[in-house]
Chain A
Amino acid sequence: MTLDKKPENPNATLATPAVRKESEAQKKKKKERRQRLLDLKFALHLLARNPLVLCGTVMSIGIILVAVFSGFIVNPDLANKVSYATQLCWGNHFINWGPGSSYCSGNQFYWLGTDYFGRGILSMIILALPLDLEIAFAVVAGSVAIGILLGGVAAYGGSVADETILRITDIFFGFPTLLFALVVAAVVGPSIFTLTIAVLLVWWPVYVRLVRGQILAEKEKNYVEALKSIGAGNFRILFKHIMPNAIYPVMVQATLDLGGVILIFSSLMFLGFSPKQNLPELGNLISQGIQNVFTAPWLIIFPGIAILLATFSFNLVGDGLRDVFDPRLRR
């Protein structure tokens, strides 16, 4: 059969050195990849060894999944279902609105009770999660990007750039954490975008300092000297060689900050900077529930627990990552 016979490569003899070279490079790459895989395995092992961290990881993945699929779990129209007809039920003291109750129409079961408009608290929390997480990821990603850029420039761009950038971060560090975001949000007017920018403005200086410190520490090491000696450019050294080594503390900080951003953002919403009154957002849910807190404490208890759980699980993961990436803490 013709298919059995493989056509011989006419250039085989000519190509051998190149092929061999390539295969050596491939071997090296494979070895590297295997090493990386082993490192990853070890890191995962360290993560898994700590039950708290494992718990946090599972929880945060769960929360992210719920947030991603929230539109499929709960009908998003629920947020706008604010008919005042349902208040009749609400004002009735004989009907139980609390957790585990069925709403006065009788055929639905509410695990965490319902709110003023007869919407399930659990559904509202699920609807609110994506916005909080989106903002958290956006702000942290933005801060990391600014941090890498400005931190890199500060560490590599000479003393003038360094001083300028450091003094600017000084100014931003001088603000009380929440107040600056408040001022920006109040001035520019509340919309999701301006609130995100407001939180971002508070957040980026930490990363600039962190990245700069990391790069300065890496810069003194031998491999950078070696790279310089073979004529590698600053840009190449910085982004191809130093960054991958300097990025781990930044990743840890970023994971920890996901929770922090959720806290600040929900605080802003709670203080009344929500662009829409019935926007499904955790802080806004609490601020809406405050009016009726004495008759219906579940209105604020459960959204608060949702914020707490989200922040707590991200913090657990960040804590675990810190232990994994910081060899001094490995025990």
Chain B
Amino acid sequence: MGLVRYVVRRLLLMILVLFGISVIVFYLSRGYPSKFPPWGQYVTLSMSPSEIAYIKQIHGFNLPLYDQYFFWLRDALSGNWGLSRWAGNQQTYAVFAARFPLTAELAIAAIVITVAIGLPLGIVSAVKNNKAPDHVSRIVALLGYSIPIFWLGFLFQLLFSYYFRLWGLPSLPSSGYVDRQFIGSVHMITGIPLVDAVLQLNYSYFASSLGHLILPALTLSFASLGYLTRIVRSSMLEVLRQDYIVMARSKGLSERVVIYRHALLNALIPTITVVGVLFASLLGGVVIIEYVFTWPGVGSAALQATLQNDTNFLMLYTLVSAAIIVIANLAVDVAYGLLDPRIRFK
């Protein structure tokens, strides 16, 4: 029963977090005088001051901020997220829903790459502790920590798409999510290009969108690679020092069996905790990477929305991101408790 109560408590706390975030973002984007006043999206240049005053009044911009907030909250809870200013007064929710799958694709690809590189690096680093492979993988992990990913993105573009084309090597595309000639050749079912292409067995679309995905996903994965490698390394080291590993070795088991059968699974349990941090850093990194690679996802949209003080889009983006981060953390804690029986939920 402890588990259910724990999850319910955490979900209630999540509501509190979302409420807090929405209040902060709302007050930031509405409460400060800005080049882009919040009522700006409802007026045109030809309107007279009295018309503008009227529009301000019917949209409630003359009310105190907390009244405005609760009006926004009522609308949002009833599913009306308003019009998005930067997208030319389209429905905010529709814009977000169309762009979100692209960001999801990018983030998932980045996570796959992170795990595929970070996990082996961490294991090797721990097994060959303080030897050459350890130093190499520690340097790689630290580099992952220290690289400015916007810069890395441009370097990749420069090398793999510009110079490779100059040198006549097979080059990778540097912007967009699929070659322009393919746009529209696949029906959007899930909205994720790779999945849609597979569903409709469109090979050339699949190849094109995969090619477009490689560079941004690789760049994005660098941001989280360091965390994963470091955590895998330290928890693996911790496990390898346990008595039962000594026991397994003294039984004469081969080193491979000891490491992969006995040590690895136990070492992976603490690794799960990094997932929450990973999500937060990915969703933050996505803003930059989508800007650099002109990837039409929600991250680049959020940047534009920030620059144009588009409250509605910003609210939706921050709330969805926050919900993802909080739920990821909750899932991590639950999984952690289920995998490690020593942990009790309180």
A residues within 8 Å of B by Cβ?
Answer: 52, 167-168, 170-171, 173-179, 182-184, 186-188, 256, 259-260, 263, 266-267, 270-272, 283, 286, 290, 293-294, 297, 300-301, 303-304, 307-308, 311-312, 315-316, 319, 329, 331
Contacts and interface: CB of A to CB of B under 8 A. Distances in A.
A179 B154 contact: no
Interface string B138-172: 11001101111011101100100010000000000
B202 interface: no
Contact of A174 (B285, B288, B325): B325
Given A170-B17, A183-B25, A259-B145, A293 B158 contact: yes
Given A183-B29, A319-B138, 15 more contacts: A52-B138, A174-B325, A175-B280, A175-B321, A176-B287, A176-B321, A177-B280, A179-B321, A188-B32, A266-B148, A270-B288, A303-B151, A304-B151, A308-B151, A312-B142
B148 A263 contact: yes
Interface stretch (B244-252, B266-274, B300-308): B300-308
5 contacts: A167-B13, A171-B17, A179-B287, A187-B28, A300-B155
A187 B35 CA distance: 9
A251 B34 CA distance: 39
A331 B17 contact: no
Contacts of B286: 176
Interface string B1-32: 00000000000010011101100110011001
A237 to B, nearest CB: 27
A308 B147 CA distance: 5
B151 A307 contact: yes
Interface of B: 13, 16-18, 20-21, 24-25, 28-29, 32, 34, 129-130, 135, 138-139, 142-143, 145-148, 150-152, 154-155, 158, 162, 234, 280-281, 283-288, 291, 302-303, 306-307, 309, 314, 317-318, 321-322, 325-326
B130 to A, nearest CB: 7
A170 B16 contact: yes
B139 A311 contact: no
A113 to B, nearest CB: 15
In the A-B complex, the 7 residue pairs with the smallest Cβ-Cβ separation, listed nearest first, are A177-B284, A304-B151, A311-B146, A171-B20, A174-B322, A176-B283, A178-B284
Nearest to A286: B151
Contact of A179 (B17, B146, B284): B284
A266 B306 CA distance: 18
Greatest chain B CB density within 10 A among A168, A175, A176, A303 is at A176
A300 B306 contact: no
Contacts of B151: 270, 286, 300, 303-304, 307-308
A297 B158 contact: yes
Contacts of A308: 143, 146-148, 151
A184 B148 contact: no
A170 B309 contact: no
Contacts of A184: 28
Nearest to B145: A315
B306 A182 contact: yes
A293 B156 CA distance: 12
Contacts of A183: 25, 28-29, 306, 314, 318
Nearest to B130: A331
A286 B306 CA distance: 21
B325 A267 contact: no
A111 B21 CA distance: 48
